[in-house]
Structure 1
Amino acid sequence: MIEVVAEESGQRIDSYISDRKSNLSRTRVQRLIRDRHITVNGKSVRVSYRVNIGDRIDLVIPPPETTEIVAEDIDLRIVYEDTDIIIVNKPAGMVTHPAVGHWSGTLVNSLLYHCGDRLSGVGGEIKPGIVHRLDKETTGLMIVAKKDEAHLHLAAQLKARTLTREYRAFVWGQVAEDQGTIDVPIGRHDRDRKRMTVRPRGRQRSATTHYAVLERFEAINPSLSATYVSIRLETGRTHQIRVHFQHIHHPVIGDTVYGGRESYTSGLRNDRRTGSGQVLRTVKRQALHAKRLKLIHPSTRRPIAFDSELPEDMEGLLSYFRRACLDSRKQLERMRP
């Protein structure tokens, strides 16, 4: 049940619900409304209905058609495992769980082969054991629950924000502040429902991202201006880091959706784009890695932490930027009278 608060009043119900339920497109919500699976104050409404303060919205999602998810013998990079949880290091290019267009080759297919039926059922048939997700091209650490009790305990930690997720990213340009917080709401894009965007308050979900600059890179060539940042999520909205850094005009390098590839350097003169081409050849995805996890073990109730090394492409990018900056300093020294 969802209860509408004052600042949310006046929104169309289909937009209102799809903004809050990231797994439901606006089209799906409209179908649920027409099929009377969504009611307001106990009554069915039109898809054009605008919500009012105090409205109580009930949402019943009918069970999906049975879809068999096949166990597949795919390399699973396990960092830690016990009877309650598994910590895996997800590679780039792997989808977290099956969905339209990705019914095989996912992390879940691999987990089913490794664990069999020893995965939490809280996430349902499509997402067994999945406590949180990473985007397809994001690498790094993920928690998987084997038992329902462990899953619920971990979900409660996420909600209470006691489960810490720390990332590393390379972003375009010079981030001015050594550390900061991006606190702007995120919701689904009006025209492209696969994308997220910053939205006015009252039409979205709150989203908070903390960051600290680890290293800045600035060469003579302006297309090699970049910043290496550590990022800590306070909330975990879809595409949160990528949307937030695009919002502050420092998109994640390599991000094809949120302005981190050729679209970022297209404004430079042709003779100043040389370095950016090498950057984008070095990392062919968004340069984003889930590096650290800190949580309370669901059974022992003791804090545990995990760390992972940067993947090869991001290590290569770090080395490339350092070399380029060193070469620039040497060139400047030679130019001095």
Structure 2
Amino acid sequence: MKRRIQFHIPQAYAGLSLLEFLAQRFPYHDQTGWAERIAQHRLQVNHRPVEAACALARGDLVEYIASDIPEPRVNLDVTVIFEDADLFAINKPPNLPSHPGGRYFQHTLWARLKTHFGLAQPMLINRLDRETSGLTLVAKNEQAAKELRTEFSSRRVEKKYLALVEGVFPPRLAARGLLLPDPDSPVKKKVKFVSAEVAPPEHASRWAETVFQGLETVSGDVSKAWKSGPVSLIEALPTTGRLHQIRATLQTLGFPVVGDKLYGHDPAIFVRFCKDELTDEDRARLRMDRQALHAASLRIQHPRTRRMLELEAPLPADMAALLAAMRAARLNP
């Protein structure tokens, strides 16, 4: 598969040469590297090969055939939970992006479905974050995709997540409210949960509802670098499907997800993570190298037969290992 990156030139870059623009906007190659790729006709402006000195205007389309961008290592251990003529139910491993974006193209679930499962155009119905593991539905045809998306948008799908969270979680906790931009965070995409009884009309698209149930709490220090507290295994049953809903809600409630760099106790950890500057203390405090969130089960109507599908993905090995280590540390302090 060839990766093509397209970029429409905004006013801020108008007047620069193609070479100057590329070196400023995409610094993973220097000017010499970009000049070589322009000479190889791997870059086009408005669908035509051009010289490196070509002056760019606002609205120009720059296209790059980007097969040589190095991609980070990922976990490609994708397993199939269910398959028929209309859909796949995939158990996505942690540390695997669902869709291409940023540095990731070949190293994505979407690409894996094309190259190893023979899907010409995978249609992912529920997208999980890169670090989140668990059930992902993939439609094999347009009609199945339409039906499955309608089930999700109509809130007829029963979803259950498992998570490890910091602290002693109560037996049951229901959260209803809004997910609003977090003005105190330097991270633009971060949201915060604000409890509310009803959704104001202007914020209807930000309404979020989740029921949480505590399953088990374990204590036991497994690191000498950080004095850790108890961890709870919980179920999260969301009735809405907002971006970062479970993680943001749990942070506001005071039980951040173990390993969550963005919605954890220390917001500076995410900044250090982005700069590849995590300390040993940061890693010990996180406990895991990814957020401990797992899409464990789905109950959904089949798009063709209309029978109910009940799909389950077992607790992943890394989450189970942390629980086992803490239980052992509690018994052998």
Could you tell me the TM-score, scaled by structure 1's length? 0.64
**Structure 1 contact 69–109 (Cα < 8 Å) conserved:** no
Structure-to-structure mapping, 1:144-223, within 5 angstroms: 144-175=138-169, 177-190=170-183, 192-198=187-193, 202-203=202-203, 205-218=206-219, 223=228
- Structure 2 equivalent of residue 137 of structure 1: 131
**Structure 1 contact 75–110 (Cα < 8 Å) conserved:** no
- Structure 1 equivalent of residue 107 of structure 2: 105
2:321 is the counterpart of 1:316: yes
Query: Aligned equivalents of 1:91 and 1:261: distance in 2?
Result: 26
Q: Which consecutive aligned stretches of 4+ in structure 1 deviate over 6 angstroms post-superposition? A: 64-70, 261-264, 274-277
Q: Deviations over 1:92-130 (max 9, x none)?
A: 1110101233223111011112454554xxxxxxxx411
- Structure 2 equivalent of residue 301 of structure 1: 306
Query: Aligned equivalents of 2:227 and 2:113: distance in 1?
Result: 44
Q: Give the 3 Å change call, closer, same or farther, for CA 116–156 of structure 1 in structure 2.
A: same
Shift of 1:259: 1.2
- Structure 1 equivalent of residue 251 of structure 2: 246
Query: Aligned equivalents of 1:262 and 1:179: distance in 2?
Result: 27
Shift of 1:297: 0.8
Structure (1 or 2) with the greater strand fraction: 2
Shift of 1:65: 8.7
Shift of 1:309: 1.6
User: Which residues of structure 2 form unaligned runs of 5+?
Assistant: 1-7, 12-60, 68-75, 270-279
Q: Give the 3 Å change call, closer, same or farther, for CA 219–308 of structure 1 in structure 2.
A: same
Give me the identity figure in percent.
Answer: 31
Query: Aligned equivalents of 1:248 and 1:304: distance in 2?
Result: 32
Shift of 1:156: 1.2
Query: Aligned equivalents of 2:189 and 2:116: distance in 1?
Result: 31
Could you tell me the TM-score, scaled by structure 2's length? 0.65
**Structure 2 contact 126–136 (Cα < 8 Å) conserved:** yes
Corresponding residue to 2:242 among 237, 244, 255: 237
Deviates more, 1:200-209 or 1:75-84: 200-209
Q: Deviations over 1:7-54 (max 9, x none)?
A: xxxxxxxxxxxxxxxxxxxxx9x99xxxxxxxxxxxxxxxxxxxxxxx
Query: Aligned equivalents of 1:159 and 1:232: distance in 2?
Result: 16
**Structure 1 contact 287–314 (Cα < 8 Å) conserved:** yes
The count of corresponding residues between Structure 1 and Structure 2 is 248
Q: Deviations over 1:235-270 (max 9, x none)?
A: 111111110100101100110111157979xxxxxx
Q: Give the 3 Å change call, closer, same or farther, for CA 263–310 of structure 1 in structure 2.
A: farther
- Structure 2 equivalent of residue 334 of structure 1: none
Shift of 1:278: 5.7
Shift of 1:279: 7.1
**Structure 1 contact 140–289 (Cα < 8 Å) conserved:** yes
2:222 is the counterpart of 1:228: no
Shift of 1:81: 1.0
**Structure 1 contact 90–140 (Cα < 8 Å) conserved:** yes
Shift of 1:195: 1.8
Structure-to-structure mapping, 1:73-92, within 5 angstroms: 75-92=77-94
Query: Aligned equivalents of 1:189 and 1:275: distance in 2?
Result: 26
* Secondary structure of 1:224 counterpart: coil
User: Which residues of structure 1 form unaligned runs of 5+?
Assistant: 1-27, 32-63, 120-127, 265-273, 329-337
- Structure 1 equivalent of residue 264 of structure 2: 259
Structure-to-structure mapping, 1:10-25, within 5 angstroms: none
**Structure 1 contact 69–103 (Cα < 8 Å) conserved:** no
**Structure 2 contact 283–289 (Cα < 8 Å) conserved:** no
Query: Aligned equivalents of 1:232 and 1:104: distance in 2?
Result: 32
**Structure 1 contact 169–228 (Cα < 8 Å) conserved:** yes
**Structure 1 contact 84–146 (Cα < 8 Å) conserved:** yes
Q: Give the 3 Å change call, closer, same or farther, for CA 65–99 of structure 1 in structure 2.
A: farther
**Structure 2 contact 191–248 (Cα < 8 Å) conserved:** yes
Q: Give the 3 Å change call, closer, same or farther, for CA 115–217 of structure 1 in structure 2.
A: closer
Query: Aligned equivalents of 2:88 and 2:293: distance in 1?
Result: 22
RMSD: 3.5
Query: Aligned equivalents of 1:150 and 1:99: distance in 2?
Result: 25
